[in-house]
Each structure stands twice: as C-alpha cells, then as structure tokens.
Structure 1
Amino acid sequence: MEKQRENQIEQDELFRFWFAGLKGIGNREKIQLTKEFPQKKTLYYIEETALKKRLKEKWTEGKAETITQIIQEGKRRWSKEIVAEWQKKGIALVTYEQEKYPDRLRNISSPPYALYVMGKLPEKGRRTAAIVGARNCTYYGETYARKIGKILSEAGISVISGMARGIDAAGQRGAIHGSGGTFGILGSGVDICYPKENRGLYEDLKKYGGILSEQQPGSPPLAQYFPARNRLISGLADVVIIIEARERSGSLITADMALEQGKDVYALPGSVDSQLSRGCNRLIKQGAGIILSPEELLEELNICGNFVKNLTETKIILETEQNIVYSCLDLNPKSIGQILAETKLSIPELMRQLVSLEMNGKIKEISKGYYVRGNW
C-alpha cells in the first residue's frame, strides 16, 4: 500500500513537471486550469474534444482553442527522460496547488504557477529580508551588504537576493552561515550558474539555503527574465534593503515592486557625489527607511533586544597607537598622507601600526597606499 502511494506521488510530480513547462499558457491561466484539473494526469489524458468543451465554459472559444492546441502540442513534446535528468541534478518542483508553495508569493499580483528548486524553500513563518544593489559596487557598499546579511541571518532572518555579482553576492555571502539561511532567486534555470564567477556561492546556497527560479531548467539568463525575477525577490521578502543603486537600476525596480506589494523599503545613504548612491539617496528622500547602522536596522525591524545589545557592546580592543590609526579609518579609502596628517604619528610608527592592523584583519589595503577598515 505504501509503495503504491509513493508511485502515485511520483506520477503526480511527473505530470506537474509537464504542465509547468507548457509554453504559451500564462501563470494566471495555469492557476485557473489547476482549479479545474487538480490532478494533472487527468488533464494529460483527457480527449481533445472533451477538453475543448470544458475550456469553453471558462473562456472564449478562441482562447479555449489556443490552450487546447498548446496542451496537445505539449504532450507530443514532453519527455519523461528530461524530467528524470533534472531530478538526478536535485531539482524539485513546487506548484501553486501544493501546501509547501510559499504563502508570500500567493499574495502578490502575479504569482508564478511553478518554482524550480535546488536546496530548500524559505521556511514558512520565518522572517525574510531582501538585500539587493549595484553589481559594480564600492568597498563601502560591499562591506555593509556583507555585514547586514551576516547579522540578519544570525538573528534568524532569511536573506533573499538574486545571486548577482556585487551587492547581492556580498549580502548572501554574509548570510550563509547564520541560522536564517539565504536563498538565491535566478533569472535563468536553477541549473545555470550566472554569473559564472559566483560558482562557489552557488554551491553554498544549495547547502545552506536554496536556489529558486520560475524558469525551466536549462533556460539561459535572458534580459526579459530579470524584471520578472525581481518581483519574486520582493515578493518573498518582508522587507527590502537597497545598498548602492544608480538612479536607473534594477534594484529600484525591485524597490518599486516591494512598495506595490506593501513591503517596507530601507536604503543605505551615500555620498551625494557618488553615482552609485543617487538611487538610494533618492529613495530616502521619497520616504524609504534610512540605514544608519546595522544595529539600528535590527532595532527598526524589532529584532530581539538582547541580540542588538550584544552586537553593540562588542568592541575592538586595541593599543593606543593602533586605536588612533583604526579610528582614523572608515569605509572610504584614505592615503598614507591623509592618515599621517590626521594621526600626527611618525612615518615609521604609522607603517608599523598599519602592518599590524592589516595582519589582524582590522584594516585592508585596497590599492597601493590606500587603506580602509576591514570586513566586520
């Protein structure tokens, strides 16, 4: 009896893979068809004339005809062997009618019918935050993204992002080892690592969180997939955090989608002279929450007071000369000449302290003779 039940579940998944992959039928129509045909096996085996008759009761004759043709063509093209290959790669399918489908996505204006998944889904009931921003980011933005991702995940919040180079990747790398986990939403099939240089992050996401996409496995990262991907990032998040964005960028599209979905948006302020901060500064002017520190962000999000207190009370204990040099630095690069002028130390003493601080990971030389504080 148990074996029979397992076979039934396996068959149901095969037919849901078939239905999810039908090209030419939108998400809304697939969800409507699901209400009419809860078991996709029934839809697969129904005769063409009977199917057309039932569809005419729901849609116009022309639309019923088109959908019937797509379904018939989909039967001819479908290959169980391809699905078997996807499953060997660890690709699972979650569809709208299943209980495990993310509740947050049910509530957006255009929910996807299907999600292809490697790893896990975000845990139901656990708070989530999206971290997105510029691909060609600054050290300042990258450091804040990593720090915020880390403390959010340590506080039990799942971090959602797009696994893009720059801010997205930094936020997810920071979040990987926290209890909240992190989830990458791709604008390609889940079996396509894009960009290629994020291969290490891609493999880690499968272990410490998950990779999700509404595109079929094997789908390349086409430009038209990314705006649709952004609605899933904001849809899966309780709050969206923008760290560095130009005035016209995909991150601002994600922010707009979040606002339409009723989500809170926070932005990291930056220099008025920086092109990469203009989008964030504009969002703040329009009413977005401002990130003054990772600790204050946690307080804004009503994270456990003791957790914030412990973070705030953690101080770096340094000797006097080291502290003078360390206090002089921040996330904006400073030259040795600037540091000399501000610290009033001798050149030999300054160089000794710079070497010591860098060896301990407290500061970092990002280009010849220019220093910033190290990753927190």
Structure 2
Amino acid sequence: MEKESNRKEDIEMDSKGIYNNREIQYAAKGEPDYPKRLLHIPSPPKGIYYIGKLPREEVPSVAMIGARVCSEYGRMVAKTFGEYLAQNGIQIISGMARGIDSIGQKGALDAGGQSFGVLGSGVDICYPKENLPLYKQLKKMGGVLSEFAPKMPPKANHFPARNRIISGLSDLVLVIEAKEKSGTFITVDMALEQGKDVAVIPGRISDPFSKGCNELLKQGAYVATSPEDILDILSFTLDRRIKPYQKIKPYQMKEKTQYLLENKENMVYSCLGFYSKNLDDISNEVSMPVSEVLSILIKLELKGYIREIAKNNYVVNTENN
C-alpha cells in the first residue's frame, strides 16, 4: 500500500522540483487557510494540497456535476449555467471530469469567473489528460486541489473521497444530466449527508440522460429550469447583480424593520439572511425551544418579514425591505 503524506514538512520531498518553485501549497486542518466549509463535513481531510487559490469562504459556491458522456443539450446547459453563475459572482466547484463537469467549469472561466477543480490524484497530475487546457486555466484563474499527495496517480477508490470534498466546498449541488444508475448519485448522497441543497435540471421522460435527474426530482430535489433559479435557491435577490466577495451586512437590510418587532421576534429575525437557515439551527443560535422558535417564525412570515423556501428553512424576505 502506498504511503500518502499529509505533513507539511513532507511536501517538498513528495513533490521535489515542483514544490520548490512554490507552485504547490498545502493547508493543514487547523491552519487559517484550511477551507472552513470542510470542517463541517464527516471525515474532513487532514489537509489540502492546492495550486492557485482555494475557494473563498465568503463567496457562494455551486458544484456542477453530471454525466461524463452527455448530450448536446446537456453541454449547452452546462456551458450556459457555468457562464451565468460565474458572471453573478458564484464560484463553480467540480471534479474536472469529462463531460458536464469540465464544460461547466470552462464556461465559468471563459466568463471571467472562478472555478476550482477537485482531483482524485495529486494536484501535479492532470486527469483526464485531454483536459490539460482546462487544468492550466484553472491554475491561473481559480485553483486545483486534492487531499492526495503530489505524484499520487488517480485510482478508482479515490473518486468517492474526492466527491465528498466537491459537495463539502459547495453551498448547493447542481445536477445537469445523470443516467438512472449514474456515479453522480455518490456526490448527491454525500451532499445530502452534509446537509447541502441539491438542484436538478429536469429532462424528457424518454431521455436516458435525464432518468437520474427526474428520479432526484421525485425524491424532492429543487427543480432548476434557468440559471436564475439557482440564484433564487441560494436566496439572493434577483433585482440586482450579485457582486463577488461582497457579503451584505445584516444592518443594511434589517435596520428599518427590527424596531417594529418584539424582542424575541427580533432575536430570531436577526439570525436570518440571504442564505437559508434550518429551524433547528435557529433554535440553537437563539437558545430557545424549537416549538417557540417555530411559532415566532410563523408570525414573522405572516408579517412578511421572512420566507420559508423549503420545509423548516427560512430566509429574509428582501421584497419587504
């Protein structure tokens, strides 16, 4: 069995001649540059090797995944969504695989946005080789990252582990095309286990490339028929462009409504923003029983201050502000 290094002092030895020119960097768990999103997933990696940059914590991110062998329609959708989301400040996370993954990432980069490729090999290995132009583009305009040490070749058992990082770095997982028994479901299952939302592009019932997508819709995934739907699911306002790296401060959107609310209502309302928050999380944050918080949320919704975008998941109603 090949020994993998996760120690910072071992990187230079593992990737001699590459790390010396500072192309490969390493973020160990517990260090400031380690991706915070990964701290909240089961079995977070001990460290991340990367070239370029790591996804920014304050910037929304969407994982675009789907079939390696895809239809022309799927290619068009992946390109369109990748471009639009990148233009609206969304980071695109994927695995640099053939098909939907790489098309969506290329669309994002060509639109001037940022994308990050999570690899099932060392970051110094481009796999598949046909994606070398994309690999080079990612290193310049975003980043490539992996928990596997440099020089580690891709292996079949690496990819499920890789997929948990793809979903872990994302706020939302978007499935564009998937057959009935697609490997895409591994990432979807991991996303759900991590508490992430899943959105799906619907397809014709007779289309084999869409059978997996349609099955996910039956199981309760969000339906996305336009890139704007993704922004809506991410709970952003649609009447303004989303600026990258900018997070709206709570007082900017709540200042004129908070003085109208009672003390406990104000406490609950202050927890909410553009991102959806679950009832249990709100209850923990305000240290109030779930039943009491639910009653307050219902009142706030009736007053028009918040919206329930999924069962027990709430956001601020920006139309009221």
Q: What TM-score, normalized to structure 1?
A: 0.60
- Aligned pairs (5 A) from 1:144-183: 144-178=77-111, 180-183=113-116
1:191-236 CA-to-partner distances (Å, cap 9, x unmatched) read 1111111111000000110000011111111100000000000000
Tell me the equivalent position of 2:18. 86
Counterpart code for 1:102: P
1:214 paired with 2:214, answer: no
Counterpart code for 2:159: F
* Alpha-carbon separation, structure 2, partners of 1:225 and 1:173: 23
Cα deviation for residue 251 of structure 1 reads 1.0
- Aligned pairs (5 A) from 1:117-156: 117-156=50-89
* Alpha-carbon separation, structure 1, partners of 2:139 and 2:71: 27
Tell me the equivalent position of 1:21. 5
Q: Is the 8 A contact 2:88 2:241 kept in 1?
A: no
Counterpart code for 2:148: Q
Q: Look up the SS of the partner of 1:176 in the other structure.
A: helix
1:270-306 CA-to-partner distances (Å, cap 9, x unmatched) read 1111111111000000000011122233233233423
Q: Look up the SS of the partner of 2:199 in the other structure.
A: strand
Q: Is the 8 A contact 2:37 2:57 kept in 1?
A: no
Tell me the equivalent position of 2:120. 187
Q: Look up the SS of the partner of 2:18 in the other structure.
A: helix
* Alpha-carbon separation, structure 1, partners of 2:39 and 2:185: 23
1:249 paired with 2:233, answer: no
Q: Is the 8 A contact 1:298 1:308 kept in 2?
A: no
Tell me the equivalent position of 2:158. 225
Cα deviation for residue 186 of structure 1 reads 0.5
- Aligned pairs (5 A) from 1:30-69: none
* Alpha-carbon separation, structure 2, partners of 1:96 and 1:301: 27
Counterpart code for 1:167: I
Q: Classify 1:79/1:111 alpha carbon distance in 2 versus 1 (closer, same or farther; 3 Å).
A: closer
Q: Look up the SS of the partner of 1:305 in the other structure.
A: coil
* Alpha-carbon separation, structure 1, partners of 2:227 and 2:99: 19
Q: Look up the SS of the partner of 1:156 in the other structure.
A: coil
Query: Highest relative contact order (Cα 8 Å, sep 6+), 1 or 2?
Result: 2
Tell me the equivalent position of 2:235. 302
Q: Is the 8 A contact 1:155 1:303 kept in 2?
A: no
1:308-358 CA-to-partner distances (Å, cap 9, x unmatched) read 79xxxxxxxxxxxxxxxxxxxxxxxxxxxxxxxxxxxxxxxxxxxxxxxxx
Cα deviation for residue 178 of structure 1 reads 4.5
Tell me the equivalent position of 1:109. 42
Of Structure 1 and Structure 2, the greater helix share is in: 1
Q: Structure 2, unaligned stretches of length 5 or more?
A: 243-321
Q: Structure 1, unaligned stretches of length 5 or more?
A: 1-18, 23-29, 31-39, 42-77, 310-376
Tell me the equivalent position of 2:206. 273
Q: Is the 8 A contact 2:11 2:149 kept in 1?
A: no
* Alpha-carbon separation, structure 2, partners of 1:79 and 1:307: 44
* Alpha-carbon separation, structure 2, partners of 1:134 and 1:237: 19
* Alpha-carbon separation, structure 2, partners of 1:114 and 1:220: 18
1:226-274 CA-to-partner distances (Å, cap 9, x unmatched) read 0000000000000000011112222111011111111100011111111
Cα deviation for residue 180 of structure 1 reads 4.5
Q: Look up the SS of the partner of 2:214 in the other structure.
A: helix
Counterpart code for 2:5: G
Q: Classify 1:127/1:180 alpha carbon distance in 2 versus 1 (closer, same or farther; 3 Å).
A: farther
Q: Provide the aligned length of Structure 1 versus Structure 2.
A: 239
Q: Look up the SS of the partner of 2:62 in the other structure.
A: strand
Which of the pair has more CA radius of gyration?
1
Q: Classify 1:122/1:80 alpha carbon distance in 2 versus 1 (closer, same or farther; 3 Å).
A: closer
Tell me the equivalent position of 2:168. 235
* Alpha-carbon separation, structure 1, partners of 2:145 and 2:220: 31
